[in-house]
């Protein structure tokens, strides 16, 4: 295309006039002057052409570089030119489409009214902008964001239309994904908690006379252990299969995943066979799952309820299902429990207790840390202490931690309560150190919820710093269930970091959980606390004797210290000593006592160490 140049520059006109005059002028000198003017006019004209050419090339290059597709049509809306991005997006080259009307690419998704509005706007305002669906050469449809501008000639008539567009199909797909993520569990493709709420509400609204809803909340027992044993990918596959099997079982019902290993099932029914229905779910799911060559038979804990008997509001039903599941869990694994109103009465009582505990924590005066000494088996020497929390209730007297710690955990009070204990213990250690009393580490029990909800590491280290207590005087007791709790994240690096600071780590109640020795080997820990349950019937119970001996032998192999807890008799002590156990804690040596009472013990120990 040869560029045009405008004739509205005076030098060009002057040159043209001089050209006409040059042939008419009589005098040679005048003719020469006219020719010089012609030359100047020509040079100016040439420069102008070059500038115009350059400008055009620049704008062509800019369009070539553009990621946006561009198309220019004439006044009759026939395609004149397109840029390379157009070809890239649509698949059409200019040769294939020159002269066509752009409506040839329409995906057929918009109706006539849409195009009428399009032309009306374009004619009225000279512009149109919006989303439009077109079709690529290879047939797939895509959305584009199109901006069209009408160009006018000198007389104000439309001469061209310039259209610029962006392919927004990827953006759209993301939007769709995001929308789906809001309602769908990405792992199983099942409805998520939010969606389940909506679906339940809708089912409740559409219940007809004589119909009811059966609802169940299913939790896979020990899923964390499966995840750790087989790996997260296999764990994910198991969850997906579990969801599929459940969905196949309750055709016409609703199956969703609430998160983790919790699934929910809802069915509309006219039968009054709730218990049978739950049993059939259990039976169907108890068939083994084949995952990576492993045949897994799962234990399930199920909480269930019925609507409208147990409530006709989706929020209330969710709550009741959860309290039924929680109650089933407290009964141990592989149990199911239907919601009973007494569960709620129990909940109310618990709420009253938790409020009192909250006040006790704010005041601090009803709570006290007791200390139970730990000893070396062969010579009885003091080697440490365990801090055990006590609540002196103004009416009920002494309440033991097993009664209120689970409540504190359930009601979000555990991080605060745990921090209170840590603060008390570290302050007490610093007092004893200031008094020159013998320094043995104090072991503090740490709940899973402190690791999940609170910033345990930061509060531990800042408390130690505040009281200038070296970290090796503090040990942490974590139960196996804490280590296996997926909500605490990957626990190993966290323990490793704490140990680097100098803190010691023990596994409490060892033997009651599900961790294998192989798993323990990978964990950065110092000590195992053999659970009291195994010690109780020693040495007469053969099974306990065998377990204790095996744990002691394995721990030796792993270079782990073992402390036996709950040692009450000399017989138990002798048995443990004979099996190579080195440390003990139990009523045989001392009961948990207030700090003041344990002090005399510390003085004795100091006297033996520094006579």
Six token digits for residue 282:
């259990």
- Indicate the burial class of 607 (C-beta count within 10 angstroms; 0-12, 13-18, 19 or more): exposed
Among 305, 509, 535, 590, binds Mg ion (CB under 5 A): 509
Q: Is 385 in the site for ligand C2E (CB under 6 A)?
A: no
Decide whether 228 or 477 has the Cβ nearer to Mg ion. 477
In 32-157, DSSP assigns E strands to 69-74, 79-82, 127-135, 141-152
Cα–Cα distance list, 206 to 116, 315, 446 (Å): 42, 17, 48
Nearer Cβ to Mg ion, position 317 or 482? 482
**Which of Mg ion, ligand C2E, none binds 544 (CB below 5-8 Å, type-dependent)?**
none
Q: Does 508 bind ligand C2E (CB under 6 A)?
A: yes
Pick one of ligand C2E, Mg ion, none as the site partner of residue 388 (Cβ within 5 to 8 A by kind): ligand C2E
485 lies in the binding site for ligand C2E (CB under 6 A)? no
Sign (positive/negative) of CA torsion 505, 511, 515, 520?
positive
User: DSSP labels for 555-570?
Assistant: HHHTT-EEEEE---SH
- The single residue among 301, 374, 445, 504 that binds ligand C2E, judged by CB under 6 A, is 445
Q: Which helix (H) or strand (E) holds 483?
A: helix 480-484
Judged by CB under 6 A, how many residues of this single chain contact ligand C2E? 24
User: In the set 402, 490, 543, 611, which binds ligand C2E (CB under 6 A)?
Assistant: 402
Residue 477 CB contacts under 8 Å (≥ 6 apart), including other chains: 386, 443, 444, 445, 446, 506, 507, 508, 529
Indicate the residue among 264 and 414 with the shorter CB distance to ligand C2E. Answer: 414
What is the rounded distance in angstroms from the CA atom of residue 585 to the CA atom of residue 535? 11
For residue 550, state whether it binds ligand C2E (rule: CB under 6 A). Answer: no
| Segment interacting with ligand C2E (CB under 6 A) among 184-192, 327-335, 442-450, 547-555 | 442-450
Q: At what angle do helices 414-434 and 341-363 cross, to 10 degrees?
A: 30
Q: Is 477 in the site for Mg ion (CB under 5 A)?
A: yes
CB 543 to ligand C2E: min, Å = 19
Nearest distance from residue 445's CB to Mg ion, in Å? 4
CA dihedral (75, 81, 87, 89) positive or negative: negative
- Interface pattern 345-384 for ligand C2E (x via CB under 6 A): ---------------------------x------------
The whole-angstrom separation of Cα 98 and Cα 84 is 14
What does 73 bind: Mg ion, ligand C2E, none (CB cut-off 5 to 8 Å by kind)?
Answer: none
**Residue with Cβ nearer ligand C2E (212 or 418):** 418
Name the minimum Å distance from CB 226 to ligand C2E.
Answer: 25
**Whole-angstrom Cα distance, residue 340 to residue 274?**
13
Per CB under 6 A, 592 contacts ligand C2E: yes
336 lies in the site for ligand C2E, by CB under 6 A:
no
List interacting residues with ligand C2E (CB under 6 A): 372, 388-389, 400-402, 405, 418, 421, 445-447, 477, 508-509, 532, 565-568, 585-587, 592
């Amino acid at each position: 295309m040869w560029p045009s140049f405008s004739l509205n520059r005076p030098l060009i006109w002057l040159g043209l006039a001089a050209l006409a005059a040059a042939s008419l002028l009589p005098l040679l000198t005048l003719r020469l002057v006219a020719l010089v003017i012609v030359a100047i006019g020509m040079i100016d004209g040439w420069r102008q052409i070059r500038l115009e050419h350059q400008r055009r090339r620049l704008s062509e290059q800019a369009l070539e570089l553009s990621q946006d597709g561009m198309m220019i049509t004439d006044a009759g809306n026939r395609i004149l030119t397109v840029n390379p991005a157009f070809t890239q997006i649509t698949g059409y080259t200019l040769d294939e489409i020159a002269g066509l009307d752009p409506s040839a690419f329409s995906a057929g998704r918009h109706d006539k009214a849409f195009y009428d509005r399009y032309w009306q706007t374009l004619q009225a305002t000279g512009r149109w902008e919006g989303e439009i669906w077109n079709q690529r050469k290879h047939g797939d449809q895509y959305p584009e964001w199109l901006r069209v501008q009408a160009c006018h000639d000198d007389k104000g008539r439309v001469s061209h239309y310039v259209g610029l567009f962006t392919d927004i199909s990827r953006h759209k797909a993301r939007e769709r994904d995001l929308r789906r993520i809001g309602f769908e569990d990405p792992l199983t493709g099942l409805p998520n908690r939010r969606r389940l709420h909506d679906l339940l509400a809708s089912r409740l609204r559409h219940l007809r006379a004589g119909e009811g809803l059966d609802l169940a909340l299913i939790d896979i027992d020990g899923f964390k252990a499966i995840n750790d044993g087989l790996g997260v990918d296999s764990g994910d596959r198991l969850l997906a299969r579990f969801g599929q099997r459940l969905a196949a079982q309750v055709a016409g019902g609703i199956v969703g995943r609430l998160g983790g290993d919790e699934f929910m099932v809802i069915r509309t029914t006219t039968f009054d066979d709730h218990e049978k229905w739950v049993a059939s779910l259990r039976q169907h799911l108890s068939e083994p799952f084949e995952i990576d060559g492993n045949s897994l038979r799962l234990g399930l804990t199920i909480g269930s309820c019925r609507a409208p008997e147990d409530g006709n509001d989706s929020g209330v039903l969710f709550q009741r299902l959860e309290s039924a599941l929680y109650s089933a869990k407290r009964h141990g694994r592989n149990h199911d429990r239907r919601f009973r109103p007494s569960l709620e009465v129990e909940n109310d009582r618990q709420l009253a207790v938790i409020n009192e505990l909250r006040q006790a924590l704010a005041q601090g005066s009803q709570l006290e840390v007791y200390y139970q000494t730990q000893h070396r088996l062969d010579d009885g020497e003091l080697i440490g202490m365990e801090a055990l929390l006590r609540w002196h209730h103004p009416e009920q007297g002494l309440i033991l931690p097993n009664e209120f710690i689970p409540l504190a955990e359930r009601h979000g009070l555990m991080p605060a309560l745990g921090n209170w204990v840590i603060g008390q213990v570290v302050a007490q250690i610093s007092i004893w150190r200031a008094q020159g009393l013998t320094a043995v580490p104090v072991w503090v029990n740490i709940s899973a919820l402190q690791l999940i909800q609170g910033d345990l590491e930061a509060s531990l280290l800042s408390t130690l710093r505040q009281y200038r207590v070296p970290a090796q005087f503090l040990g942490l007791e974590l139960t196996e269930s804490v280590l296996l709790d997926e909500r605490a994240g990957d626990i190993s690096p966290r323990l490793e970091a704490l140990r680097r600071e100098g803190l010691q780590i023990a596994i409490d109640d060892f033997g009651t959980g599900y961790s294998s020795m192989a798993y323990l080997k990978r964990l950065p820990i110092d000590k195992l606390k053999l659970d009291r349950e195994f010690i109780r019937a020693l040495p007469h119970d053969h099974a306990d004797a065998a377990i204790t001996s095996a744990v002691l032998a394995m721990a030796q192999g792993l270079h782990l210290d073992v402390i036996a807890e709950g040692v009450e008799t000399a017989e138990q002590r002798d048995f443990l000593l004979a099996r190579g156990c080195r440390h003990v804690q139990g009523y045989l040596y001392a009961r948990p006592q207030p700090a003041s009472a344990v002090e005399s013990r510390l003085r004795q120990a100091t006297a033996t160490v520094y006579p």
